[in-house]
Structure 1
Amino acid sequence: MRPGSGHIAIVGGSGFIGSNLAESYLRDGEEVVILDNLSRPGVEENLRWLKDHHAGRVHPVLADIRDFGAIESVFSDAKAVFHMAAQTAVTTSLVHPMDDFETNAHGAINVLEAVRKAGRDAPLVFASTNKVYGGIEGIAMRELDDRYVPADEMLRVHGFDEGRKLDFCTPYGCSKGAADQYVLDYAKSYGMPTAALRMSCIYGPRQFGTEDQGWVAHFLTCALQGTRIAIYGDGKQVRDILHVNDAVAAYRALMRSIDHLKGRAFNLGGGPQNAVSIGMVLNEISRLTGRPLETANGDWRPGDQLYFVADTRALQNAVGWKPEITWRDGIRDLRDWLVENRFPASRFRQPRRATA
């Protein structure tokens, strides 16, 4: 991020990752504009939290990125922009593909054009997704007792890198993939300092996880409530989960280096050291809560990847970033935050542990 006057604009700044990112900059004394339509249930609590702790330096703008006229002025004095707003669920995109497109694809173009027309050459980092790689089909897999793993040894050691062929599937994959490519093209066509992070599963405090998105937080919430957890497929699907503190560090590191990294997309995830199956996470949650979990299995969902682990070596080499929080420590941290903030009467309440 270039020094100088102006604010940091976080589009979708009341959401899970956006609010954590905003709080990190507010702690540094920055002025932060939060552009959000508060459409996701619960995110108004994140905005209230930011205002309570950083009154005077957090500036909410309640508007929808689908309305260019409503958002244009937000970027007139922005010195850096993070675009985090999205329709985030594959399942929702299958039911409402037009709404998904309008938010994810059209909304991204509106943000890019508003930043370009502001004329400040403000850098923009976009929150993309590993779904741009599709279902990762055609990869030979081995089924172990508790997880799937690729037969290819190099994939097991490093994961999938950015050279993986783009393969948009499901309306969500298409809309986010289109936005991803527009962000990169604005660096080529207009010389704008733009870049993208293709994220795996991010989890942590301030997440309002649901069955359709934010599954780690959703599982923990169900466990603390004592409600049944629905598992789609056999539970051996593998993801490389990443704590939100590490994700925030990655976004900030990329923004700091964007002048020589513009036009590039990087994978962002926990990497092989944080690769876990759904069943492994459930077992850890059961151990942390001290109770067995009630689960029910359903059919596989469209676009579900048997295995996705991000190869993050390109990002590590480019900006010096690496994950610091192990998946077990991270899940414990989220459990402690949920108990403290959403289940204060829970018998599982324990003193909050600090994590790196």
Structure 2
Amino acid sequence: MNILLTGGAGFIGRWVAKQLLEDGHKLWIIDDLSNGREANVEEFRQHPQLQSFVKGSILDEALLTQLFDEHQFDICYHLGASINVQDSIDDPRTTFNNDTIGTFYVLEQARKHHVKVVFMSTCMVYDRCTEETGITEQHPIKPASPYAGAKIAAENMVLSYYYAYGLPTVVIRPFNTYGPFQKTGGEGGVVAIFLKNKLAGKELNIYGEGTQTRDLLYVADCARFVVQAGYSSKVDGEIVNAGLGRDISVNELAKLVLDGDESRIRHVEHIHPQSEIQKLLCNSEKAYQLLGWKPEVSLEEGIRRTGEWIESTDLI
């Protein structure tokens, strides 16, 4: 197939690109490099199926029009977005423009050319988990940050195009994804940050009490889920979760990374406690029922692989 991938130079985007190229599709990538890095796609530069890497924004309607007019895309995997919660609190306009308006521009092109859209949303749209069976797609949502609010708005637009125009679209909500090629600084990559600091002999800083839990999904499993959502018509018009199905507190995660050495753990003041979700635990039953997808990499194995990757780079 001919496939457009927005945000393909990002952390998850890089793994999705790898999977799509391995599956034999012709691939076009667009990324404005605000979050992504060209180095992430460097290894694919000579791949015969990579048609083009375009440095550009999904807010550039003329560029999107040109891409969709010139190439008969079968699927658009739409991963391009502002993803930082704190940035969205400090500057909600940029996040809204990129995540909501940018998605609208993508949808308009997809509608014109009848291209399936796989929209990458986030587990951050959910309210805290209250059931030990985990968060299903029917779980209450709570836009606790402008990032979550912008994603919910975009989700609604994506699904409206399915109902109003019969456009094949799917909203996917992966839980906290980690692994090789994730940035080891800033916000969001708690596993990568912890591993980098461990390897550098530094302390591990935990925001708040550290009792908040996360369901951590290894990136290769996440990419497999993203790609399969594009291949199957069974998920058209649906919202679908993906996660490990196991949550771990940030305190326990730090201990796991440090092999039990609690002397290097330090608690610091939370930068955005109002947008913290206290418990995140995914129920991926729907992904299994519709796509046959389930995670294959355990948390311990994923941490080992990620640590090896960080050690093999110059990130320490």
TM over 0.5, yes or no? yes
What is the alpha-carbon distance in structure 2 between the residues aligned to residue 60 and residue 313 of structure 1? 35
For 2:42, give the aligned amino acid: R
* Residues 1:43 and 2:15 are matched in the alignment: no
What is the alpha-carbon distance in structure 2 between the residues aligned to residue 279 and residue 124 of structure 1? 38
Shift of the alpha carbon at 1:56? 6.0
Deviation by residue 1:270-306 (Cα, 9 ceiling, x = unmatched): 113xx11111211121129x89635342136221111
* Residues 1:334 and 2:306 are matched in the alignment: yes
Q: Is the 8 A contact 1:63 1:71 kept in 2?
A: no
* Residues 1:322 and 2:294 are matched in the alignment: yes
Q: 2:283: which partner in 1? A: 311
What is the alpha-carbon distance in structure 1 between the residues aligned to residue 184 and residue 239 of structure 2? 26
TM-score (norm 2): 0.93
Q: Is the 8 A contact 1:228 1:296 kept in 2?
A: no
What is the alpha-carbon distance in structure 2 between the residues aligned to residue 70 and residue 292 of structure 1? 52
| Aligned partner (choices 19, 28, 35) of residue 24 of structure 1 | 19
What is the alpha-carbon distance in structure 2 between the residues aligned to residue 74 and residue 241 of structure 1? 35
Q: 1:122: which partner in 2? A: 115
Q: 2:2: which partner in 1? A: 7
For 1:108, give the aligned amino acid: T
For 1:81, give the aligned amino acid: C
Q: Give unpaired runs (5+ residues) of structure 1.
A: 1-5, 140-149, 347-356
Q: Is the 8 A contact 1:10 1:22 kept in 2?
A: yes
The count of corresponding residues between Structure 1 and Structure 2 is: 313
Could you say what the CA RMSD is over the residues aligned between the two structures, in angstroms? 2.0
What is the alpha-carbon distance in structure 2 between the residues aligned to residue 56 and residue 330 of structure 1? 29
What is the alpha-carbon distance in structure 1 between the residues aligned to residue 44 and residue 184 of structure 2? 19
What is the alpha-carbon distance in structure 2 between the residues aligned to residue 240 and residue 165 of structure 1? 17
What is the alpha-carbon distance in structure 1 between the residues aligned to residue 31 and residue 218 of structure 2? 23
| Aligned partner (choices 68, 77, 82) of residue 82 of structure 1 | 77
* Residues 1:297 and 2:292 are matched in the alignment: no
Q: 2:164: which partner in 1? A: 189
Shift of the alpha carbon at 1:75? 2.6
Within 5 A, what are the aligned runs for 1:273-284? 275-284=247-256
SS in 1 for 2:45: helix
Shift of the alpha carbon at 1:328? 0.5
TM-score (norm 1): 0.83
For 1:165, give the aligned amino acid: P
Q: Is the 8 A contact 2:126 2:143 kept in 1?
A: yes
Q: Give unpaired runs (5+ residues) of structure 2.
A: none
What is the alpha-carbon distance in structure 2 between the residues aligned to residue 102 and residue 311 of structure 1? 30
